[in-house]
A and B are shown apart, each in its own frame.
Chain A
Amino acid sequence: MAGDFTKKLDGRTEGKEARAWQIGKAHRKIDAADRMRGQLRYADDLKMPGMLHCKIVRSPHPHAKILGIDTDAVMQMDGVHGVVTGKDFPTPYGVIPWTPDENALAVDKALHVGDGVAAIAAISEDVANAAVRALKIDYELLPAYFDPEEALAGEQINPYSRKGNLSKKVELEFGEVEKELESAHLVVEDRYFFEGSTHGAIEPHCAVANVEPNGVLTVWSATQVSHYLHRELAKVLDMPANRIRVIQPPLGGAFGGKSEPFDLEFCVAKLALQTGRPVKCLYTREEVFYSHRGRHPMRMDYRTGFDKDGKIVSVDAKTLIDGGAYSSFGLVTTYYSGQLLCAPYDFGAYRFNSKRVTTNKPACGPKRGHGSVQPRFAIECQLDKGAVALGIDPIELRRRNFIGGETQTINEFKIGSNGFMECLDKVEASSNWKERYGKMAFGKGLGVAGSTYISGTNYCIYPNEMPQAAVQISLDRSGRARIFSGANDIGQGSSTMLAVIASEELGLELADIRVVAADSDLCPVDLGAYSSRITLMVGNACVEAAKKLRKVIVKHVAASWEVPEKQINLVGGMAVDMDDPERSISLAEAFVIAETEEGMLSAVGNYGTRSDRHGEYRGGTIGASPAYSFTAHVAEVEVDEETGVVEVTNVWVAHDCGRALSPMIVEGQMEGSVYMGFGEAIMEEHTINSEKNGVHNAPSLLDYRMPTFLDTPHIESLIVEAADAQGPYGAKEAGEGPLHPIIPAISNAIYDAIGIRLNKTPFSPPAVLAALAERKEREARGEIPPHKSTSAGGQN
Chain B
Amino acid sequence: MPDALLLHMKVNGEDVEVAAPPHYTLLEVLRYKLDLIGSKQGCDKGDCGACTVQLDGAARLSCLTLATQADGREVRTVEGMTAAHLHPLQDCMDKQVAAQCGFCTPGILMAAEAYLTKEGREVSRDEVAEALAGNLCRCTGYVKIVDAIVEASVIMAAKEQS
What is the number of residues of chain B that contact chain A, defined by CB distance less than 8 Å?
Answer: 64
Q: How long is the Cα–Cα vector from A490 to B102 in the complex, in angstroms?
A: 10
Q: Is B133 an interface residue (CB 8 A)?
A: yes
Closest residue of chain A to B38 (Cβ to Cβ) is: A38
Distance between A621 CB and nearest chain B CB, rounded to angstroms = 31
- With a 10 A CB-CB cut-off, give which of B43, B86, B92, B143 has the most chain A CB atoms: B143
Binding stretch for chain A, among B54-62, B65-73, B93-101: B93-101
Q: Is A8 an interface residue (CB 8 A)?
A: yes
Q: A2-B155, A253-B101 are in contact. Are A700 and B141 (CB under 8 A)?
A: no
Q: Is the CB of B103 within 8 A of A492?
A: no
Q: Is the CB of A252 within 8 A of B40?
A: yes
Closest residue of chain B to A490 (Cβ to Cβ) is: B101
Q: Is A184 an interface residue (CB 8 A)?
A: no
Q: How long is the Cα–Cα vector from A563 to B21 in the complex, in angstroms?
A: 72
Q: How long is the Cα–Cα vector from A471 to B136 in the complex, in angstroms?
A: 35
Q: How long is the Cα–Cα vector from A250 to B146 in the complex, in angstroms?
A: 24
Closest residue of chain B to A666 (Cβ to Cβ) is: B97
Q: Is the CB of A7 within 8 A of B101?
A: no
Q: A8-B85, A41-B37 are in contact. Are A35 and B99 (CB under 8 A)?
A: yes
Q: How long is the Cα–Cα vector from A35 to B137 in the complex, in angstroms?
A: 14
Q: Mark B113-154, 1 if CB is under 8 A from A, else 0.
A: 000000000000000111011111111111111100001101
Distance between B90 CB and nearest chain A CB, rounded to angstroms = 4
- With a 10 A CB-CB cut-off, give which of B50, B79, B137 has the most chain A CB atoms: B137
Q: Mark A596-608, 1 if CB is under 8 A from B, else 0.
A: 0000000000000
Query: What band does the interface of chain A fall in when counting residues whose beta carbon is under 8 Å from B?
Result: 35 or more
Q: Is the CB of B138 within 8 A of A201?
A: yes
The prevalent SS among residues of A at the interface is: loop
Contact of B140 among A201, A662, A672 (CB under 8 A): A672
Q: A255-B138, A709-B135 are in contact. Are A493 and B143 (CB under 8 A)?
A: no
Q: Is the CB of B133 within 8 A of A708?
A: yes
Which residues does chain A contribute within 8 Å of B91, judged by CB atoms? 5-7
Q: Is the CB of B151 within 8 A of A672?
A: no
Q: Is the CB of A706 within 8 A of B136?
A: yes
Contact of B102 among A35, A44, A667, A717 (CB under 8 A): A35
Closest residue of chain B to A33 (Cβ to Cβ) is: B94
Which residues does chain A contribute within 8 Å of B139, judged by CB atoms? 253, 491, 668, 672
The prevalent SS among residues of B at the interface is: loop
Q: A202-B138, A700-B47 are in contact. Are A252 and B102 (CB under 8 A)?
A: yes
Q: Is the CB of A285 within 8 A of B97?
A: no
Q: A38-B38, A251-B101 are in contact. Are A671 and B141 (CB under 8 A)?
A: yes
Q: Is A50 an interface residue (CB 8 A)?
A: no
- With a 10 A CB-CB cut-off, give which of A7, A38, A253, A700 has the most chain B CB atoms: A38
Q: Is A792 an interface residue (CB 8 A)?
A: no
Q: Is the CB of A203 within 8 A of B40?
A: yes
Which residues does chain A contribute within 8 Å of B132, judged by CB atoms? 709
Which residues does chain B contribute within 8 Å of A712, judged by CB atoms? 141-143
Distance between A128 CB and nearest chain B CB, rounded to angstroms = 14
Q: Is the CB of B143 within 8 A of A671?
A: yes
Q: A3-B155, A17-B95, A37-B90 are in contact. Are A285 and B144 (CB under 8 A)?
A: no
Q: Is B160 an interface residue (CB 8 A)?
A: no
Contact of A710 among B42, B77, B90, B130 (CB under 8 A): B130
Q: A38-B78, A41-B37 are in contact. Are A29 and B99 (CB under 8 A)?
A: yes
A 1-28 contacts with B by CB, 8 A = 2-3, 5-9, 17, 28
Q: Is the CB of A285 within 8 A of B44?
A: yes
Which residues does chain B contribute within 8 Å of A251, judged by CB atoms? 101
Closest residue of chain B to A37 (Cβ to Cβ) is: B82
Q: Is the CB of B138 within 8 A of A200?
A: yes
Which residues does chain B contribute within 8 Å of A41, judged by CB atoms? 37
Contact of A285 among B42, B92, B129, B152 (CB under 8 A): B42
Q: Is B158 an interface residue (CB 8 A)?
A: yes
Q: Is A665 an interface residue (CB 8 A)?
A: yes
- With a 10 A CB-CB cut-off, give which of B31, B37, B48, B97 has the most chain A CB atoms: B97
Q: Is B25 an interface residue (CB 8 A)?
A: no
Which residues does chain A contribute within 8 Å of B99, judged by CB atoms? 29, 32, 35-36
Q: Is the CB of B109 within 8 A of A36?
A: yes
Closest residue of chain A to B41 (Cβ to Cβ) is: A44
Which residues does chain B contribute within 8 Å of A254, judged by CB atoms? 101
Q: Is the CB of B136 within 8 A of A701?
A: yes
Q: How long is the Cα–Cα vector from A7 to B85 in the complex, in angstroms?
A: 7
Distance between B94 CB and nearest chain A CB, rounded to angstroms = 5
Q: How long is the Cα–Cα vector from A664 to B77 in the complex, in angstroms?
A: 28
Q: Is A179 an interface residue (CB 8 A)?
A: no
Q: Is the CB of B85 within 8 A of A253?
A: no
Q: Is the CB of A37 within 8 A of B38?
A: yes
Distance between B95 CB and nearest chain A CB, rounded to angstroms = 6
Which residues does chain A contribute within 8 Å of B102, judged by CB atoms? 32, 35-36, 40, 250, 252, 491
Distance between A649 CB and nearest chain B CB, rounded to angstroms = 13
Can you pick out 30 interface pairs between chain A and chain B where the beta carbons lie within 8 Å of each other? A2-B155, A5-B95, A7-B91, A9-B84, A9-B85, A29-B94, A36-B90, A36-B93, A36-B99, A36-B109, A39-B82, A44-B41, A47-B35, A201-B101, A201-B138, A202-B136, A203-B101, A203-B103, A250-B102, A252-B101, A253-B138, A491-B100, A491-B139, A667-B144, A668-B97, A676-B138, A706-B136, A709-B133, A710-B129, A715-B143
Given A36-B99, A42-B37, A702-B45, 6 further pairs, Cβ under 8 A: A3-B155, A36-B94, A38-B106, A40-B102, A492-B100, A700-B43
Nearest 8 interchain pairs by C-beta:
A38-B38, A491-B101, A35-B102, A252-B103, A675-B141, A671-B141, A701-B47, A38-B78
